[in-house]
Amino acid sequence: MRFRRRQAQGFKYSRWDGTQTGFDLDADALLEEMSDDLLYHGDLNAALRRLMQQGFRDRNDEELMGLRDMLERLRQRRREELERRDLGGVYDDIAEKLREVTEQERAGIDRRVDEAQQSGDRRRQEIVEDLAQQRRQELDELPPDLAGRVQALQNYDFMDDAARQRFEELMDELRQQLLESYFNQLSEGMQDVSPERMQRMKDMLAELNQMLEQRERGEEPDFKGFMEKYGDFFPGNPQTLDELLEQMAQSMAQMQQLLNSMTPEQREQLMELSAALLDDMDLRWQVDQLGRNLRQAFPGLPWEQSQRFSGNDPLALGDMAGLLDTLGDLDALEHLLRSATQPGELAEVDLDRARELLGDDAARSLDRLRELTRTLEDAGLIEQREGRLELTPRAVRAIGNQALADLYRNLAKDRAGRHEARRAGWGNEPSYEHKPYEFGDPFHLNVGETMKRAIWRGGAGTPVRLSPDDFEVERTEALTRSATVLLLDVSLSMPMRDNFLPAKKVAMALHALITTQFPRDHFGLVSFGRVAREVKPERLPEMSWDFEWGTNMQHALLLARRQLAHESGTKQIIMVTDGEPTAHIEGGEAFFQYPPSPVTIEETLKEVMRCTRDGIRINTFMLDESPSLREFVERMSRMNGGRAFFTNPSTLGDYVLVDFLDRRGTRRRAG
């Protein structure tokens, strides 16, 4: 497994034992979980990525593991493998099996001598004893190194048929294990190492090398024809030549890492052993040529890296492929998790293999993490636009309503509830109350109450006669239209002082309040740093701060005034800032200076005067109590007649919300 292609999923069923609980993911809860991150950075895709990285708890308070914890678990699993294994065990295991073969041969020699002696044939006895002496001497003189011993026994003429068969089986087994180690992707194709199969493998490697050389020359290799002939060697069923080559390159790179991890003596022994086992010169040449071609085609693979094995558990040659497979899957899964930027990219993970490497909890978390995007899309909260995920209007409303609900919860600690004073008067909205008609009232007759008064006055019977005193009319609410523009400071000082997120939440809450409870009102938004920009309310969640210094109130007031010029009713500007004006527009360009230039102060106050002449009130909420800011805002308030509030991030929302509602109520009473 290399975590490249999503495997066909199966389903397993078992008796309920109370532990088979799943994660309970709710789209609205997911949106709420990442709303702070989204509002702070203004990037939905980044917020989803951080949610994947950090993990979270579902509505059942069950922890959904994040990718960061999974990566740490992967690193721990790799450390366990390295600290458990001893690469020297490769040779110990083979040496022990060769010793058993030679002991079996010696016993067979003794048995053949005994049989000759018991036969009574003098000539046979002499021949067998001479041959036995020669074979014992050859066994005694076997080279001490493993590769030399293998090569000597390959040229040795066994006297014991069982020992010969056992040695040949051992050689076939070692060849198979060695080839599996080099070509882990061909493991199913290496079950048979007969001469015919080995010849087909040589032919396959030769054609593979030829295709690599064709590609290097700019030609198009016949991959389809290659797979029709040799597809049985590749159980992973690669669909393209690139996929096949990458799989083989990873296997050979892993084997090279293992060789790099050995001591020089261990590495030399294994190379000599390989030469002895793969005694076919053409096969060895094709393997070496493929290694060179793949190294050139995939230089980014860890060909030069090594691992630090420090354990005491001997690694047999037969276990080498399994170890390489585990380490390779650990590397592949780590790469996939580290590079995943969207939940959908986790669909490539083989959950069964991830469960083996990381455990059940991690596999279940991965299964849910890769469904995050679909859960939000199915709920209508996000959608794909030009290759990027974007919030839908429903999601913007949900975030705003949540911010508004948070503010109301804070207010509830100090206030028993909303108590808006209303005054009945002329208007067009029914208040579902009634009153006796007075001269000058709109004649919105309440027929039921009028008939009731007439019957009470004149008694039962028909006809019912009406008099002017019987008339009962509907009360109506006096309504005013309000136009509000919020000026939000997005200069670099706002996030540095932890003011940006609370201020943006206030903007979201105010937008939600006006659009839901005062739909006839106008709400506009202007962000200002070194320059000011109009922001469409539906793009508010994606708005972020400026990576520049500068607080351009003059430009912000100018844009707000122009916006309000097209609106009717009561007009106001709500400005949230943590700094005095340090920038203004001059000659079409932003001019910045700190400490503030007198020209900047003067240009800003000129804009305040223009707002005042247009009947626009400016209410300022300050998140810093520096003397210079206080002095400027107080001067601005005296010129404009607006109000100033000195607050902090934890109370900003309360101040803005209460002031807006109180002024809204005041305007209603005045109406």
- Alpha-carbon distance 619 to 637, whole Å? 8
Mean per-residue pLDDT, 611-630: 86
Q: Is the pTM of this model over 0.75?
A: no
Q: Is the pLDDT of residue 11 over 50?
A: no
Last residue of a domain, one of 477, 492, 512: 477
Last residue of a domain, one of 310, 329, 348: 329
Confidence of residue 585 (pLDDT cuts 50, 70, 90): very high
Give, in degrees to the nearest 5, the angle at Cα 541 between 537 and 547. Answer: 105
pLDDT value at position 669? 33
Confidence of residue 404 (pLDDT cuts 50, 70, 90): low
Which ranges of 120-240 does DSSP label H, i.e. alpha helix?
122-140, 146-154, 161-182, 195-216, 223-230
Output 296 or 21, whichever has higher pLDDT. Answer: 296
Lookup: tokens for 134 = 């020669």
Q: Residue 286 domain-assigned?
A: yes
Q: Is the pLDDT of residue 561 over 90?
A: yes
- Give the largest CA-CA distance in the chain: 155
Q: Residue 408 domain-assigned?
A: no
Mean per-residue pLDDT, 519-532: 88
Do 546 and 664 have their domain in common? yes
Mean per-residue pLDDT, 623-644: 85
CB 591 within 8 A of CB 585: yes
34 DSSP 8-state letter: H
Lookup: tokens for 233 = 């060697």
Rg of the chain taking only CA atoms, in angstroms: 42
Q: Residue 214 domain-assigned?
A: yes
Q: Is the pLDDT of residue 611 over 90?
A: yes
Do 214 and 322 have their domain in common? yes
Mean per-residue pLDDT, 161-178: 83
Do 210 and 310 have their domain in common? yes
Confidence of residue 607 (pLDDT cuts 50, 70, 90): very high
What are 222-250's pLDDT values in tens digits? 888 988 888 887 777 788 888 888 878 87
- Alpha-carbon distance 368 to 51, whole Å? 12
pLDDT value at position 15? 47
CB 280 within 8 A of CB 195: no
Do 75 and 145 have their domain in common? no
Helix (H) or strand (E) holding 526: strand 522-528
Last residue of a domain, one of 477, 500, 519: 477
Mean per-residue pLDDT, 329-342: 83
pLDDT value at position 318? 60
Mean per-residue pLDDT, 541-555: 84
The CB-side HSE value for 307 (13 A sphere, CA atoms) comes to 27
Mean per-residue pLDDT, 329-350: 83
Instruction: Indicate the angle between helix axes 27-41 and 393-412, nearest 10 degrees.
Output: 90
pLDDT value at position 22? 45
121 DSSP 8-state letter: -
Cis? peptide before 627, omega within 30° of 0? no
472-477, strands of its sheet edge to edge: 424-425, 472-477, 429-436
What are 266-278's pLDDT values in tens digits? 777 777 777 666 6
Output 288 or 318, whichever has higher pLDDT. Answer: 288
Q: What one-letter code names the amino acid at 489? A: D
Do 142 and 236 have their domain in common? yes
What are 462-487's pLDDT values in tens digits? 888 888 888 888 765 545 678 889 89
Give, in degrees to the nearest 5, the angle at Cα 35 between 29 and 39. Answer: 170
DSSP string computed for 241-273: HHHHHHHHHHHHHHHHHHHHHS-HHHHHHHHHH
- Alpha-carbon distance 641 to 546, whole Å? 30
CB 333 within 8 A of CB 3: yes
Sign of CA dihedral 383, 387, 389, 394: negative
Q: Tell me what the pLDDT averaged over the chain comes to.
A: 78
Q: Residue 448 belongs to what domain range?
A: 424-477
Q: Residue 22 domain-assigned?
A: no
SS3 234: coil
Q: Residue 266 domain-assigned?
A: yes
Output 269 or 149, whichever has higher pLDDT. Answer: 149
Residues in Cβ contact with 120 at an 8 Å cutoff, skipping those fewer than 6 apart: none
Do 74 and 100 have their domain in common? no
Q: Residue 9 domain-assigned?
A: no
Contacts 24+ apart (CB under 8 A), 266-273: 266/87, 266/88, 266/90, 266/91, 269/91, 269/145, 269/146, 269/147, 270/90, 270/91, 272/145, 272/146, 272/147, 272/148, 273/91, 273/94, 273/146, 273/147, 273/150, 273/174, 273/178
What are 418-446's pLDDT values in tens digits? 333 333 333 444 555 677 877 666 677 88
pLDDT value at position 667? 41
- Alpha-carbon distance 350 to 2, whole Å? 8
Do 267 and 370 have their domain in common? no
pLDDT value at position 376? 81
Mean per-residue pLDDT, 635-660: 76
Which ranges of 385-470 does DSSP label H, i.e. alpha helix?
393-412, 447-458
Sign of CA dihedral 595, 598, 601, 603: negative
Instruction: Please state which of the ranges 183-187, 341-345, 648-652 shows the lowest mean pLDDT.
Output: 183-187
Percent of the chain with pLDDT over 70: 80
pLDDT value at position 668? 38
Lookup: tokens for 13 = 């069923």
Instruction: Please state which of the ranges 70-79, 202-211, 411-420 shows the lowest mean pLDDT.
Output: 411-420
Instruction: Please state which of the ranges 5-9, 98-102, 557-561 shows the lowest mean pLDDT.
Output: 5-9
Q: Is the pLDDT of residue 601 over 90?
A: yes
Q: Whose CA is closest to 301, among 324, 274, 328?
A: 328
Confidence of residue 366 (pLDDT cuts 50, 70, 90): confident
Do 518 and 581 have their domain in common? yes
Residues in Cβ contact with 490 at an 8 Å cutoff, skipping those fewer than 6 apart: 500, 527, 528, 529, 543, 544, 545, 546
Do 219 and 145 have their domain in common? yes
Sign of CA dihedral 127, 133, 136, 137: negative
Do 637 and 612 have their domain in common? yes
pLDDT value at position 5? 37
The total number of structural domains that make up the chain: 4
pLDDT value at position 162? 93
Do 473 and 513 have their domain in common? no
Instruction: Please state which of the ranges 3-17, 27-41, 102-116, 158-172 shows the lowest mean pLDDT.
Output: 3-17
Q: Residue 164 domain-assigned?
A: yes
DSSP string computed for 57-112: E-TT--EEE-HHHHHHHHHHHHHHHHHHEETTHHHHHHHHHHHHHHHHHHHHHHHH
Mean per-residue pLDDT, 296-303: 82
Q: Residue 229 domain-assigned?
A: yes
Residues in Cβ contact with 192 at an 8 Å cutoff, skipping those fewer than 6 apart: none
SS3 571: strand
Do 183 and 198 have their domain in common? yes
Q: What one-letter code names the amino acid at 300? A: G
Confidence of residue 405 (pLDDT cuts 50, 70, 90): low
pLDDT value at position 1? 44
The CB-side HSE value for 356 (13 A sphere, CA atoms) comes to 11
